[in-house]
Structure 1
Amino acid sequence: MEVEGTPIRVQSLVQDGKTVVPPQYVQPPETRPHRHIEKRNDYDAETPPVIDLSNVNNIHEQLERACREWGAFHVINHGVGVELLDEMRKVGRSFFEECAMDEKLSYSCDPNSPASEGYGSRMLVSSNDTVLDWRDYYDHHTLPLSRRNPSKWPDFSSNYRKVVAEYSDQMNALAQRLLCFISESLGLPSSCIKDFVGEFYQNITVSYYPPCPQPELTLGLQSHSDMGAITLLIQDDVGGLEVFKDGEWIFVDPLSDAIFVILADQTEIITNGQYKSAQHRAVTNSKSARLSVATFHDPSKMKIISPAFELPIYRPVLYGDYVSSWYTIGPEGKRNIDALLLL
């Protein structure tokens, strides 16, 4: 959600030649990154697994390990054309780098509604005192089809809307396929998790992280776990995504042909905590702008989510209430799902 009044975009701060990060973007010492992006994983650390979806012989075993230990993993041979991934990155970057600021602002989000469609920078309520992220974004409402209104999407490029629509359909199909595999890896019917989630409410968010003059003080995106069911993400070759595992922040190396899968909170609830939603964040750098595209697949706000197993450790929750809490009090890691624990 945008700060009331004239919208401030991070990209405009950089274009104005700021050499010092404004105070509202400075993270407290305990949440600042402790490693420059240029160094990446400069120690002997695990990295998220890469799962080949064409290898049907041990896919369930690989998924079980990845979902239990990480809650996140790369997939390759996923059935989505590499050309489409490249086109989605290309049209996303073109909006931020080829459109004048006045044109971009004509697509601004509704400043009075969280998660509204359009161009923005701040996703939380204006009364929230959370430090701002060093990020601009464009959020598209893409599914169900009743929400998809391409006339609200940028039209500066002849194929922008076509690429986003095709990308939406491909991500929808892949998300459904993955949830089937994930259900089977737990010994559940293949449709189990998808049946709990119901019809996907899909948003595609293109995030743009301008170069930051003081990356050691900022985060591109604060630590959080996604609130929905499953997120599919691609990033450019700059990189900046980190996943929290065993008390450490692990840098996720960009793989241009892969799609990064992030389990979200409702899947953790449905699997009764056997599979974890991944806590993650984005770090900034001083040299290059970074782009990522995250496709979120969520339940309807009227859907009640509960564990699929006996002896539940989470209480049922109306998804709309969960969303309201997330946007009102802020994410702060996994505190929203932890509030549902019965133990």
Structure 2
Amino acid sequence: MEVAGNQIRVQSLAQNGTAQVPPEYIQPPDCRPNVLPCPNTLASDKSIPLVDLSGSTSDVHRVLGQACQEWGAFHVTNHGVPIQLLDGMRKIGITFFEDCPMAEKLNYSYEPNSFASEGYGSRMLVSSNDTVLDWRDYFDHHTLPLSRRNPSHWPNFPPNYRDVVLEYSDHMEALAQRLLKLISESLRLPSSQIGEAVGDFYQNITISYYPPCPQPELTLGLQAHSDMGAITLLIQDDVSGLQVLKDNEWVNINPLSEAVVVILADQTEIITNGKYRSAVHRAITNSTNARLSVATFHDPAKTRTISPASKLISDSSPPRYRQVMYGDYVSSWYTKGPEGKRNIDGLLL
């Protein structure tokens, strides 16, 4: 069994032919992905909206605004990121997880006693010792601001790994900035409104690998949560597993190889005063196929204070959230864990 920092790698459990998942990976009954035809537990046949960024400005604002208001998650196409770069990012991820020797992967293990550390791991650390573990391994990269970016901390397997991550980081930053401008404009705000409220991005790129699971009905690859920051951009391979909660139904976000999934996060909900909502989402597992996704998180600095945009406040629309320093918000998440909920609800006035 491959262990580093008292962490057992999920990939090692799967490769060792574990017939039953260890108890620390078993979700409580009300959180399990029910595989039986039971109302409000099976994934719906709905699908998230698709926003074509090559459309007219008015069409983009309309479709994007509706997607942000009703879903908090949507696909974007014609986004300006080269398709070969999306494919390259998926390729280096799967090569690292499936072809790189475990001994070499363990050389990049993160520091087990610190939160949100860069490197190769399996457990997202929270203070509670009885937190149910996710059925996934991942590699987290600190990519922005440039003072955090140190490619020597990243794998060199395959040899172009670091170059691909660097190029991908820059394209994702540009796309996130473009989307925040469009989101601002869709609310009839100045295009720079949300971007200026967020400030310079703190960007992390997390490649998640979900090995086949012998008991997918008992586990989650990633427990239900909303993202803490401003906006998350995600790509998937061709294996389904990502789901978003809509009207008390779990809706599959089916893979589209040329699209990027956009997930609104909590700070954008605060800035828009709840006009647009962050999306609760999760990842389920399956018994036959490994799955890979790449999530790029764009967050404010820990010292940034976030509050509803003054232009969205009026007598008829009072502030819905108290202001919060982002670092305090993050500390709360790591102290309590998501527990399938949205921490943002604790800021409601």
Q: Shorter-chain TM-score: which interval?
A: over 0.9
Q: Secondary structure at the match of 1:208?
A: strand
Percent of matched pairs sharing the same residue: 71
Change (3 A) 1:44 1:328: closer
1:3-40 Cα shifts (integer Å, max 9, x gaps): 9943211001111110101000000110000138xxxx
Matched, 1:313 2:313: no
Cα deviation, 1:116-171, whole Å, max 9, x if unaligned, reads 00000111225342210000000000001111000100012221000000000000
Name the residue aligned to 1:91: 92
Q: How does 1:190-201 map to 2 (within 5 A)?
A: 190-201=191-202
Does 2:48 align with 1:48? Answer: yes
RMSD: 1.5
Deviation for aligned residue 1:239:
1.5
Residue number in structure 1 paired with 2:142: 141
Structure 2 regions of 5+ residues with no counterpart? Answer: none
Task: Tell whether the 8 Å contact from 2:109 to 2:120 is kept in structure 1 after alignment.
Answer: yes
2:287 is the alignment partner of 1:280? no
CA contact (8 A) 2:48 2:74 kept: yes
Structural mapping, 1:287-302, within 5 Å? 287-302=288-303
What are the within-5 Å matches in structure 2 for residues 243-258 of structure 1? 243-258=244-259
Looking at structure 2, the residues matched to 113 and 202 of structure 1 have their Cα atoms a distance apart, in angstroms, of 18
Mapping of residues 142-221 of structure 1, within 5 Å: 142-221=143-222
Instruction: Provide TM-score, normalisation by structure 2.
Output: 0.94
Task: Name the SS for the 1:34 alignment partner.
Answer: coil
When the two structures are aligned, how many residues end up with a matched partner?
A: 336
Task: Provide the C-alpha distance between the structure 2 equivalents of 1:5 and 1:272, rounded to a whole number of angstroms.
Answer: 41
Distance 1:192 1:35 in 2: 43
Partner of 1:65: 66
Equivalence for 1:100: 101
Kept in 1, the 8 Å contact 2:128–2:336? The answer is no
Report what 1:33 is aligned to.
33
Deviation (angstroms), 1:42: 8.3
- Given that residues 209 and 291 in structure 1 are in contact (C-alpha distance below 8 angstroms), is that contact kept between their aligned partners in structure 2? yes
In 2, Cα distance between equivalents of 1:87 and 1:296: 19
Structure 1 gaps of 5+ residues are: none
Aligned to 1:117: 118
Counterpart Cα distance in 1 of 2:99 and 2:241: 23
- Indicate the residue corresponding to 1:9 in structure 2: 9
Quick one: distance in 2 between partners of 1:5 and 1:43? 36
Distance 1:334 1:34 in 2: 18
Aligned mates of 1:279, 1:127 — CA distance in 2: 21
* Change in CA separation of 1:119 and 1:333 when aligned onto 2, cut-off 3 Å: same
Q: Which moved more, 1:296-305 or 1:93-102?
A: 93-102
The residue identity in structure 2 corresponding to 1:129 is D
Please tell me the residue identity of whatever aligns with 2:137.
Answer: D
